[in-house]
Structure 1
């Protein structure tokens, strides 16, 4: 089969790979329909994240079960499924406390980073990380379940209330899903995005959508009855310093975007005096089951999938998404999915 690997010289390459096989009684073999390109994948190319060499990358995957080990009972051959890529050992101290997102062996289990991922034709993994999706759920909705789990994790920790004003910085897929969910709960939801296409999409989701230079402190006061924000989500990964002046008293700041190269400086007294919290959400806290249920009811989720490209044209797909992040680029792309070579 073919798979996209992260090479020793730190680049992407489509290779012929050995097709994975069932080895354990709790293994499930999935014929991959498609995998969404995540910001994590893009950050590998940008040099902002790392992965093991010669590893198949990709992790936002859905597909169809084609074989199971004899001990598997939660899914059957023919079931359409989503794969939870945030995997764990289940044996370390954190896992035994239910804090599986902090697994001591996390790097060895995370798909597309330390273990073979899903930019490939087939995937084999443990049944505990495979979830059946409803028969009437579209592939486009299902492929966004994994990023939705990340968003539900943020919203849960934010303890979002109807009177809250929320700022989401960045309108990529994670940012847009944050906006979709927050707009159902919060009193005011605001987006900031530099890409014109994505800003326009956010304007149809949020109460307000701005280019970065447009959202001044005065504008925030104007739209929010003289107050700043109660919750700020940095879905880019390097915007927290710019977010601080917009944080109101008691604000919960969320670092949601991944960028290992970014650092910020804070005045701890200001955080103490104003009751501001800076929260790193960690990875997903086993929320796939909840996300599957919620996805069925979240109107507009499937509309975020705007393009599908064959696995063989991966370079074209990555180049397009890397170009989207450039200021002023009006490319009409949100979530781009790489389709398996064996997609029906």
Structure 2
């Protein structure tokens, strides 16, 4: 076993973090000052018979992580953030039966107590203590070298699946959930607002399920990526009623997904009678007022899909069939280069507010 390490990062003692059984590891922590900081943190150990210890390969940077930095989503100070994780099992508890050391796994971060009223009804995403169980928000996440959690929240990655595809399984569960809840049909027209990773995944799935897939994106890099999947891609200034009628048989859209989190005004402007609007992007600071009579008279539904309903197994199978989904991972950075990695995705300077060009789609922070 490695000796206890008190060395600062960048000095020789940090090498001991990588030795099996080390007391300390690296963790990307949300501080009391509401900033990210790479710290020495205690390496977690098994606490129960059903626990599994995972050596994290990498964790995708999610829009939720970005919104924590932007102040749009709250995280608990002192918490290791990150939740889109894949890695290799290095230790198992005595009661673990489905996993073995050496297995590659996806970690389901949408966890729950299993005991409350909603969990006992199968509505686990509405768990009464939901926030306490969410990786990177209410409990330690996976921007770290190791993670320990229960076997029931881990899923074995097929041998044929790459790490790059596997790391996209968790966001894919979110996308599959909202497509199920919104009931997208083969004759539907779908508008996805935003072409970040979630928006692009929505476009991939919509292209398979619906008649027409359109997207809106302000950033040129992401708009160019979107053109691989959507039938039409608009800059917000180009999205007009006349243009929509031109591409959609004189009608507005049947389904609109706000993958940004603050675009319900746009969605309300372009939704057809009988249409469904799905708020998907997270932004706790945003609100929008609807006219109830307009919703009633036009038969419009607003669908709060909630978090994922245990869809990781289905997403693993579906991901295998999505051609070139792994190409969404455009960059990988070591944990030490987290500042550079986040900077690639923010779209603006956190200190000055000046807009910056986005240069990546999906970025993964590597622990291995």
TM-score by length of 1: 0.97
1:96 aligns with 2:123: no
1:319 aligns with 2:343: yes
Report the alpha carbon displacement of residue 51 of structure 1 after superposing the two structures with TM. Answer: 1.0
Aligned equivalents of 1:199, 1:292: Cα separation in 2:
27
Report the alpha carbon displacement of residue 55 of structure 1 after superposing the two structures with TM. Answer: 0.5
Match of 2:360 among 314, 333, 337: 333
Aligned residue for 2:131? 107
State how 1:56-95 maps to structure 2 within 5 Å. Answer: 56-95=80-119
CA contact (8 A) 1:195 1:328 kept: no
CA contact (8 A) 2:85 2:167 kept: yes
Q: Flag structure 1 segments of 5+ consecutive residues without an equivalent.
A: none
CA contact (8 A) 1:7 1:53 kept: yes
CA contact (8 A) 1:167 1:190 kept: yes
1:139 aligns with 2:185: no
RMSD: 1.2
Aligned equivalents of 1:57, 1:74: Cα separation in 2:
27
Match of 1:306 among 330, 354, 360: 330
Aligned residue for 2:191? 167
CA contact (8 A) 1:324 1:333 kept: no
* SS of alignment partner, residue 209 of structure 2: coil
1:9 aligns with 2:36: no
Aligned equivalents of 2:284, 2:298: Cα separation in 1:
28
TM-score by length of 2: 0.91
* SS of alignment partner, residue 25 of structure 1: coil
Which deviations, in whole Å up to 9, do the C-alpha atoms of 1:98-156 show, x marking residues without a partner? 00000001111000000000000000000000000100100000000000000000000
Aligned residue for 1:288? 312
Between structure 1 and structure 2, the one with the greater Rg is 2
Aligned equivalents of 2:230, 2:144: Cα separation in 1:
35
Aligned residue for 2:215? 191
Aligned equivalents of 2:251, 2:356: Cα separation in 1:
32
Aligned equivalents of 2:355, 2:248: Cα separation in 1:
28
* SS of alignment partner, residue 128 of structure 2: coil
Report the alpha carbon displacement of residue 53 of structure 1 after superposing the two structures with TM. Answer: 1.0
Report the alpha carbon displacement of residue 245 of structure 1 after superposing the two structures with TM. Answer: 1.0
Show structure 1 runs of 4+ deviating over 6 A. 324-328
1:127 aligns with 2:151: yes
Q: Flag structure 2 segments of 5+ consecutive residues without an equivalent.
A: 1-24
Aligned equivalents of 1:286, 1:275: Cα separation in 2:
30
Match of 2:182 among 146, 154, 158: 158
